[in-house]
Amino acid sequence: MLSKKVIVITDGDEYARKAIDYLAGEVGGTSLAQYSANPTTASSEEIIKAVNRAEEEPVYVLLDDAGIQGVGPGEQVLLDLAKELSITIIGAIAVASHTRYSEWSRFTFAIDRRGEIVAQGVDKEGEREIEFGRISGDTVYSLDELDIPTVVAIGDIGKMYGQDDLKKGAPITRKAIELILERADENEKGE
């Protein structure tokens, strides 16, 4: 059995849900935004079943810890998804946040609010950070422990001073998804 391709998004608020629902319709795939919450309340079992029922790939899974330190509910689902043999996480969108507890993760690419790929991390507003190669957020802690081929760091989905607004087509989030899909295609061809 072929495994289902999943893109994980480390945000579960209403803006993220609407953006991912919209982009799944535009780019292709299945949004599981109905399982998202801030923090995540759906169980790993519920989400794994929903991923396996999805008819179109990639499957977009929104996970959120709402600032809970360490492995919160969203990250527990992420860890369980990563262990599931019927699922392959082809990428993650690591969403920056202003969290009191400084969790961070390395990333493959970062996209600032102007839509430019940058070497620095970005903050919640999509502004470039001073630090290179790391992003701070509240649901990013476990990303580093997993072998996810492409992690794209962005600011807060649907916001970033209006630059990722749904009325504009959520272009920053869209670019992050497209980068993950391009890399997944290249990885498949290279196998």
Q: What is the mean pLDDT of residues 59-71?
A: 88
175 and 115 Cβ atoms separated by less than 8 Å:
yes
Render the burial of 110-134: b for 16+ CB within 10 Å, e for the rest: bbbbeeeebebbbbbebbbbeeeeb
Rounded-to-integer distance, Cα 55 and Cα 35, Å: 16
Task: Please report, as a single letter, which amino acid is at residue 169.
Answer: G
Sheet containing strand 4-9, edge to edge, reads 30-31, 59-62, 4-9, 87-95, 151-154, 109-111, 117-118
What are the tens digits of pLDDT across the range 28-60? 999 999 999 999 999 999 999 999 999 999 999
What are the tens digits of pLDDT across the range 106-154? 899 999 999 999 989 999 999 999 888 888 887 887 888 899 999 999 9
